[in-house]
Structure 1
Amino acid sequence: MFSQPDAYQEQMLNDNQIKEPIHCHMEHSLPDKPIARPHFHDAIELLYSFSGSTRVFVSGQSHKMEAGDLIIINSNEVHAIYAEAGTDVEYLVIKLDPEVLYSTSRSIFESRYVLPFTLAKSSPKTLLTKNEIAHTTIPATIAKIMEEFSSKDYGFDFAIRIHICTIFLAVLRHWRETGVPIGMMDAISDADFQLMRHVFTLLETEYSSLLTAKEAAKSCNLSYSYFSRKIKSITGRSFTELLNYVRITEAEKLLTTTNATITDVAISVGYSSTSYFIQQFKQAKHISPLRFKKQLQRTALSKNQTFLS
C-alpha cells in the first residue's frame, strides 16, 4: 500500500535488529545537528545527558534534554533526536529488550512494575530533569553502568542488568513519591493481571481488525457487562478507549516513518472511516494527523536532515 523512504528504512532495520538484550553506547554530536530521524523499535530506551542541549521528540511531544537529565522512551514510541545550538552534545544511550526487566519466571508480581514501560506504550513521564533525580540513586547507577561497560570485567553483563533494574525501580519510586499517576492500581490482583495480559495481547494483535468490546469479552470468556466494568476499574479507561489509544499509537508510527496518505493510515490501523480517525487522532494528540505529519517534515527540513543512519 505504501513504502518507506530509504533513509527511514535503514534506520528502522538497524533499530529493529538489536542482537543483544542490552545495548549501550555514548552518542556524540556537534551542536545544531540531527542525530536520529523519526523511528521506533521494540526496545525500551534510556538517554542520560552529560553535556550540551538536545531536543528529543517522543510521541509528538518535544523535550529539551540538558546535562544531568534522563529521558525514558517506551517500547514502540516514535522518537527523533536533534542536537541544539550551543556546546557539543554527549549522552549515554541504553537500549534494552523489555524482557531484561523480568526474571526468568516472568512473574505476575514483577509485571505490575514493568507494565508502565511496555503495555501502557507511553511512560507516565518522559523527561526527568537533573534536579528531579539528584536525590535518587540514578546518577550513581549510571556511573556504575559506564564503568562496567568500560572495564568489561567478568559478569559485567549481569551487573549491568542489575543496575538497569535499579534505575527503573528508582524511577517508579520517584513517580510514586511525587504523585505521578502510573495508570494501573497498585492493589491489582493476579487474576486481573492475567486478564490484562490477555486484553493487551488482543489489542496488540487485532487492533487493525474491526475489533469490538463484545468480541474481546467473548475472547476472555466473560460477559460484556462484567468485562466492561472490570477493564474500566483496572485501567481507568473503557476497552474502546484502549483500542483507540493503540490504533493512534500505530498510526503515529506510519505517519512519521512512511509516505502513507491519511486514508491509508486510517484503514491500516483499523478505522473504517477517515473522518472518525481524524477525530480520534485530534482528540488524542490535539493536532490533526496531516498537521502532525507536516510538522515533523518541517522539523526535519529545518535541521537540514540529509544523513543516513
Structure 2
Amino acid sequence: MKPKPIILSSDRKESLQTQLQDLPIAYYISNFKDSNYDYVDWHWHDEVQYCLVVKGTILFHVNQETYEIEEGNGIFINSRQIHCSKPIGSTNALYHCFEFSPTLLFHDYNSSIYKSYVMPIVKDSQCSAIVLDQNRPRCLEILNGIRSVRKLLDESQPAFELNLLVEIIKIWKNTFLSPNIQKNTSPVTTRENERLRTIFTIIQTQYSDDLTLEDISKSAHLSRSECSRFFHKCTGQGLFQYLNQYRIHKSLELLINSDLSIADVAYSVGFASQSYYTACFKKEMHMTPKQYQKQYSI
C-alpha cells in the first residue's frame, strides 16, 4: 500500500497548497481509482477541512475516532486535528476536500465576531470532527456549499472570489448553527492530540535510526506500555507496525531513484537486516523489493 504524496513539515503538518494567491484556501480531489496511492497518511494542518465523498465509502480516522462516510455524505475536520483516510472495499472511491484558514472568516482574533462564531468551534477540543449527513437539512446545505465552491473555482468567472467568500461564510454559518449534527463527543484533549503529533514527529524525523520504544515513549512523556497502548488506541495500529510501514514507504523512492543495493536501501531507512526488510516489504506491498523495481521500470 502506498500513501498519497502530501507536503509535510517535520511534525507532519501539511503545507497548504493554495489555488488563489491572496486567499488561504485549497481544493483537492483524492481519487483512489487507477492512482499510485492507496490511502492518505496521518497528518494535520491549521486549516479547517470539509470532505465530500463522491464515490464509494471512505474511512476517516480523526484522533481517536473512526468515521465511515458513504457516498453523498461528508465530514468536517477541525483545525489542528491529526487524521488520515482510506477507501473501504472497492478502490473505486473518490472524495473532494476543501480547506481554508479560520483567519479567512475574521482576521481579528480579539473581535467579538471571531470570539462568538469562530473560536467556539476551532478551540473546542471535543469537536475534532463533524459528520455531514445529507439527510439533515443543514448538513445538506454544507455539502451543496462544497459543490458550489468547486464550481466557482472551475469556472473562475469575473468577481468569483467575492462569490467564493460568500459561499465560505454560508458554509461556516451552517456549521455553527447545526447543534444536532453528530459531533465527536469523545473527550480527546489538546494534550492527547499534541502527544500523538509528537510520536509521529519522532517517527518521521528519526525513522532511519535505531529507534526504540524507550526513545519514542520518552518524547511523548509516557511509559513504554502507556505509549504503546495510547498509539494503538488512537490509530488502530501497533507502534512498530506503523514505524516499519513508514520505513517501507520511505524506501520506495530509493528503490527506483538511487543506485543503492537492496541491502543498502534497507539499512538507510532503519532496518537492521535485508531479510527483515524484505519480509516487511512483501507483507506491505505484496511483492518483493526486486519485483517492485522491475514493475516500476516497465
When normalised by structure 1's length, the TM-score is 0.60
Deviation at 1:182, TM superposition (A): 8.9
- How do residues 175-194 of structure 1 correspond to structure 2 at under 5 angstroms? 176-177=179-180
Does 2:14 align with 1:15? yes
**How far is the alpha carbon of 1:148 from its aligned partner?**
0.6
Higher helix share goes to which structure? 1
- Residues 295, 304 of structure 1: alpha-carbon distance in 2 compared, 3 angstrom cutoff: same
User: Tell me, which stretches of 5 or more residues in structure 2 are unaligned?
Assistant: 204-210, 247-280, 290-298
Work out the CA distance in 1 between the residues paired with 2:224 and 2:235: 12
Corresponding residue of 1:165: 169
* Pair 1:131-2:131 in alignment: no
Matches within 5 A, 1:1-309: 11-13=7-9, 15-19=14-18, 20-30=23-33, 34-86=38-90, 88-102=92-106, 107-123=111-127, 125-133=129-137, 136-174=140-178, 176-177=179-180, 245-259=189-203, 263-264=214-215, 267-268=218-219, 271=221, 274-275=222-223, 278=226, 287=233, 293=239, 304=285
Measured after TM superposition, the shift of residue 146 of structure 1 is 1.8
> Are the equivalent residues in 1 in contact too, given 2:50–2:99 (CA < 8 A)?
yes
Whole-angstrom CA distance in 1 between matches of 2:89 and 2:104: 35
Structure 2: how far apart are the matches of 1:64 and 1:95? 20
Q: Is the 2:58–2:88 Cα contact (8 Å) retained in structure 1?
A: yes
Q: Check conservation: 2:130, 2:182, Cα contact below 8 A.
A: no
Q: CA RMSD in A?
A: 4.2
Gaps (5+ residues) in structure 1? 1-6, 184-236, 238-243
Partners of 2:40 and 2:109 lie apart in 1 by 35
Q: Matched residues in 1 for 2:63 and 2:184: separation? A: 19
- Kindly state the Cα deviation for residue 275 of structure 1 after the two structures are TM-superposed: 3.8
Q: Give the conservation status (yes or no) of the 8 Å contact 1:278–1:288.
A: no
Aligned length: 236
| Distance in 2 (alpha carbons) for counterparts of 1:8 and 1:35 | 6
> 1:18, CA displacement in angstroms?
3.8
**CA distance in 1 between partners of 2:75 and 2:182 (Å):** 19
**Which residue of structure 1 lines up, in the alignment, with residue 292 of structure 2?**
none
Q: What is residue 218 of structure 1 aligned with on the other side?
A: none
Q: Is the 8 A contact 2:213 2:224 kept in 1?
A: no
1:92 Cα deviation after fit? 1.5
Measured in 2, the distance between the counterparts of 1:247 and 1:167 equals 29
Whole-angstrom CA distance in 1 between matches of 2:237 and 2:94: 32
Per-residue deviation, 1:82? 1.0
CA distance 1:104–1:26, shift in 2 (3 Å): same
Higher relative contact order (CA 8 A, sep 6+): 1
Distance 2:34 2:78 in 1: 26
* Shift in Å, 1:116: 4.0
Alpha carbons of structure 1 residues 53 and 31: separation in structure 2 relative to 1, 3 Å:
farther
Separation in 2, partners of 1:9, 1:50: 21
8 A contact 2:62–2:81 mirrored in 1: yes
1:182/1:158 CA distance change after superposition, 3 Å: farther
CA distance in 2, matches of 1:65, 1:162: 27
CA distance in 1, matches of 2:185, 2:233: 25
Q: Is the 8 A contact 2:139 2:174 kept in 1?
A: no
C-alpha distance in 2 between matches for 1:9 and 1:136: 30
Alignment-mate amino acid for residue 30 of structure 1: K
* Residues 53, 65 of structure 1: 8 Å contact kept: yes
